[in-house]
Structure 1
Amino acid sequence: MRNYTLLTAAAIATTLGSQGALIASAFAVLEAGGDAGDVGLVAAARTIPLVLFLLIGGALADRLPRHHVMVAANALNCLSQAAFAVLVLAGEPRLWQMIVLAGLGGTGQAFFAPASEGMLMSSVSGEQASRAFALYRMALNGASMGGAALGGMLIAVAGPGWVLAIDSFGFLVAGSLRAFLDVSHVPPRPAGRGMLADLRDGWREFTGRPWLWSIVLQFAVVNAVVAAAQSVYGPLVARDDLGGPGPWGTALAAFGAGTVGGALLMTRWKPRRLLLVGTLCVFPYTLPPAGLAVPLPLWALVGVMFLCGLSIEVFGVSWMTALHQEIPEDKLSRVSAYDWLGSIAMVPVATALAGPAESSFGRTPALWGCSALAVLLTVAVLFVPGVRQLTRRTQDVPAQRPVTAPAAGPSADTEGALGRPG
């Protein structure tokens, strides 16, 4: 469990800093004279390289020692955030400079994320894997809530530059911890294969399992419409009907509390039908857009957001357990990369289209459409046999082959996010 402990501690260090840094980068743009469009450009600059380089990052993490990839990515994030902090503290950072540095941060994340997920899954084994994933996610969710709150306070007191500097230091600490990870248990990777061959192997692993690609496809749309509802329409509804940003912040905090509660629940609960239970728990994830469409009073919206956070965390732990159980160790990072890519690729598109959709159809119909689309896709996934039939193994048996139609039973064969499937 040494690797698991190091991974958890390092993830807490980076999450605490990064959540505040996301807020700090937006305020840095605004304080430099930028507007909402400029904030969007800096955010897009982080997302675009993440999408472009994820698959390469996954293939690289399955070719090289994963902790080397993670440390290198942390070093890039540390340096880019340090440069961002220096520019902000020195005064008058230029927009193009912030865009470039945000892009470097997204590039680091693209190489880090698949390696990290593969390393985490290979660090636990046996029946305790599900509980370990739940504890890991609970720690990250708690750090995310705390980091956002602390970051907001520090920005008000000291300014965004110091928050960016703290985030850089967090990456330094995390990279130092990850340098001590032990990969002696990982079998040597075969030599002489090219990157394209590795990507093809990962694609075959991904497409050979209908339960896997169908859920990733589902979340490509579900994550996108829910993100559009919460990031674009949510603040507008809060302004017009809930009393402003304070109540909306309360609702978002309730979602965060729900994720912690869901992770705590999954430390004790081990549903036998992993993906059936997980997919059923996606339905509450579709409720916030509907709640905003009504709109619900604040107390009811807080309850919906808490339930949403709890239920999606049940799915998240179940998803990670299924991947750990069914995907061969040497392909974990490549499959994780396809998972990440599918889960985030449509989010920028959906948020960009949210405004035109409101202009064309109205805000309330657009919100109902988001909820209905997410519900329909979740229902469709339940028709995939592997989603209904995949069961938790009673002992740790390494996955060796793709399975397209798992049989029911204790030994039947069978991911991010926000949200992402994982």
Structure 2
Amino acid sequence: MLALLASYGYFLWALVGVFFNIDTFYPHKVADLLFHHRSRLGRPILTLLEVHVSIRAEMPLQLFVLKVFAIALTGVLGGFDYWLTWVTLCVLDIPNLLVCLYLFWEMVQEKQVYLDALQQLDSSMQINISSNIKWLLRILVNPLWRPPNITVFPDITYATHEELMEAIQPTDDLNEQKRLQLDVYTTNPPTAGSSHILRPVLVHIHGGGWQQGTNKICYPFEKMLLSEQNWIVVNIAYRLAPKHPYPAHLYDVKRALRWVKTSIHSYGGDPDFVVLSGDSSGGHLAAMAAVTANEPEWQPGFESIDTSVCGVISLNGSLDIQGDESKKAFFTHKVAGLDELDQAFLDRHSPLQRVEKQLAGKQLQLPPFFVLASQRDAMVNASIGVNFKAVFYEQESNPDDGCTLLVLPGAHHACYVFWSLRSFYGSQVIQAWCKRLYSNSSRYRNSA
């Protein structure tokens, strides 16, 4: 009986693997087939699928080992006493194993994409695998690995007492206070009496469709900036819809920036050099915070605080919230909590439209943008990043200074979350961009 269960279990395991392999290579077609026009009902399932195939695409060697273990376990349990198991192995699972190897080969082949990006940013930089072999071995074994020299100061409240009461009031849920906290990551934190040169600061805004997510994940590019460039990293939490409709999210990002500008020096950070980053919906919020810098409407009670930033990093960011009718409806009803579609509201809160308008009207000196887009992303189409870059081409004399675009051919939506060969390469490109940005800023300050 156990052998029969093992045989059927292995068959189902392999069959599910085939489906996910198809979704890995053809995510847009699968999404269109299963969720017509990305319906609001299908969005949560689509999100789960995209996260799953992201992990498969980033960890193919780990998946290969897991599959080999499953085959061995099936054999130990006697599953190969049945012809179904042998057919499953030959017809379904050997192709599945080959797909794992192909996905890893794809990541290796993408190296040229990163080399080209590095050449544009810093011609002296190269991706040298041999000199980073220790990093590669660690991250292949442990996708969550964090360098040991990183210190974390968790759960720091950035809101005032009145703002905390405002967060609790709609639901009387005291846990909502935790949404107004941040974590500070640093290496070699300053001690009493010590004199340290203030270091550049990265403030990261997590994704999650404006409705979920956590600030407790330190991404690979953040770990590399911390460990190799000695930056300060701040991961912020913020209130979420539907309990707190947008633009509560934007208010909270501004409040977190207020805290950074007034307090980060205590942790060795430079309040005059702050870069915002965000993934998915966090990319939308990072861009919105940058293009609305110092606008009193979005920072009530602290209008005099400088909330401008020196740069923005968008990782598969939702830089256009009105690409089609389903996106408009989702943001209007589920995120902003509005009953009726308001086109003027959407135009004001879509970074693509805001940047296009501000560049055309020369209304605001925008900070430089680094935009990462994934070709196989079923949640945020890579064309959004391409269109965002195109706006700078149309409006600026030197668009590469205004917006750097990196399109990853084989990547999915969450390619940046865990260590992989792809995130390792990508982190080096982001590191080079940040290094150039800080170097240019330092030269400007020294000459001023």
Is the pair's TM-score, using the shorter chain for normalization, greater than 0.5?
no
Q: Which has the higher helix share?
A: 1
Short-chain TM bin:
under 0.3
Q: Which has the higher strand share?
A: 2
TM-score, with structure 2 as normaliser:
0.23
Structure with greater Cα Rg: 2
TM-score, with structure 1 as normaliser:
0.24
Q: Whose RCO is larger (CA < 8 A, sep 6+)? A: 1
